[in-house]
Amino acid sequence: MIRATNTGRLGIMIGDGNRTPPSPAPAAYFRKLSELGPSVGLDVFVFSPLEADWSRRCTTGYRWRPDRGEWEKASVPFPDVVYDRSFYKSRNAHAEHQQAARRLLRESGVVLLGHQLTGKRDVIAVLSQDPELAVHLPPTETLEDPQQVVERLKQTPAVLLKPENGSCGRGVLCIRPTAGTGYELRGRNARNRIVCAEVHDRRSLVVAIRDWARRRPFLMQPFLLLETADGRPFDLRVLVQKDGRGRWRISGIAARIGRPGGVTSNLHGGGIATSGAALLGKEFGTSAETLLGRLRFLAVRTAVALESGFGRLAELGLDFGIDRSARIWLLEANSKPGHSAFVRLAGTGADAGADVEIGAKGGDGAPEPWLRPIFYARTLIDRLQGEETR
């Protein structure tokens, strides 16, 4: 385990999509990080850059007090390192928050634990440069005109439209021809509600796609049949994080299973989480161990590739799909991954698929693998302080 001789400050940055004090879902994760902080010499608090007091070079922070079971509001110095867990309810809120965050990073000497990935096109462009990864990427093109969908459907049974900057399955739309000249549309709208519709000709389809996109940038891919044997969509979320030595490690592999006939398997859309190893064993039998090994290899290689393209990263949630021929597809990369699936699995005693070198006997000493960011934060602060004393 990492043992620190000096105290550093780790600020968990939140946006207006989080509440202060933190709302229940992320608060459990934040509490665990806060409780671990003293063991590695870190003062951990939750804050928003919008509450920075530049005259005093401090901000409003919330520290978890386990003895009282509550978050305590206090004035705290600017953090040394920022762990960005901010989410937003609107574009305006995002712009306001980002302006404040950029000032904090620019004028205070604060550094990010890890940078953020940009849009899906940039991610695909970076990963496509690695031949080992490129073969696992679905063919993707930018949607410039709805007519592209019509033409693509002449070559593939169904297409998938996904927003360039979307998350949690919002805005995803599957389109497939029906009998005659019609088309079926299934997906989730911006509020993550299920949408099912049918149009009767190409002209109506073009209008429907324009209404759906609303001038937002979208990507088009062939719709991949990534389902269990009983017809439920599923994917595998691989959580890859840096440990206290700055090495990329697998902190969990969870399967997310959607509703029968659905398009996505996201937990936000009603999916359920289960052990990745258990699901692969059920669906692919004796090939499961080989698939798990391949997923681990691809996850770490993806993390290395993305870090080379986007700068320092601390953690990634990588979504993989596996079709019925056991071909692995890399579907998404998220630099602000959720941890709820792994917390739920730990609560049931299921195998969460983490590296074996965790816990008191190995690795960085994290009692739960998804808490590794706090050990990496300690290491990063030590490096920064070492550079300052040279």
pLDDT 10s digits, 165-214: 877 778 899 999 998 889 999 988 877 788 899 999 999 999 999 999 88
Task: State pTM to two decimals.
Answer: 0.90
Which pLDDT belongs to residue 292? 96
Whose CA is closest to 331, among 186, 174, 152, 123? 123
Q: Is the pLDDT of residue 59 over 80?
A: yes
pLDDT 10s digits, 107-123: 998 999 999 999 899 99
Which pLDDT belongs to residue 360? 36
Do 134 and 328 contact (CB within 8 A), yes or no?
A: no
Q: Is the pLDDT of residue 77 over 50?
A: yes
For the ranges 14-28, 310-324, 355-369, the maximum mean pLDDT occurs at 310-324
Helix, strand or coil for residue 13? strand
Whose CA is closest to 306, among 290, 330, 326, 327? 330
Q: Above pLDDT 70, what percent of the chain?
A: 88
Q: Is the pLDDT of residue 48 over 60?
A: yes
Q: Is the pLDDT of residue 274 over 80?
A: yes
Tell me the average pLDDT of the chain. Answer: 88
**Cβ of 344: how many Cβ atoms within 10 Å?**
16
Cβ-Cβ contacts under 8 Å for 322 (sequence gap 6 or more): 226, 236, 280, 283, 284, 291, 328, 329
Peptide bond just before 138 cis, omega within 30 deg: no
Which pLDDT belongs to residue 266? 65
Q: Is the pLDDT of residue 357 over 70?
A: no
pLDDT 10s digits, 141-164: 999 999 999 999 999 999 999 999
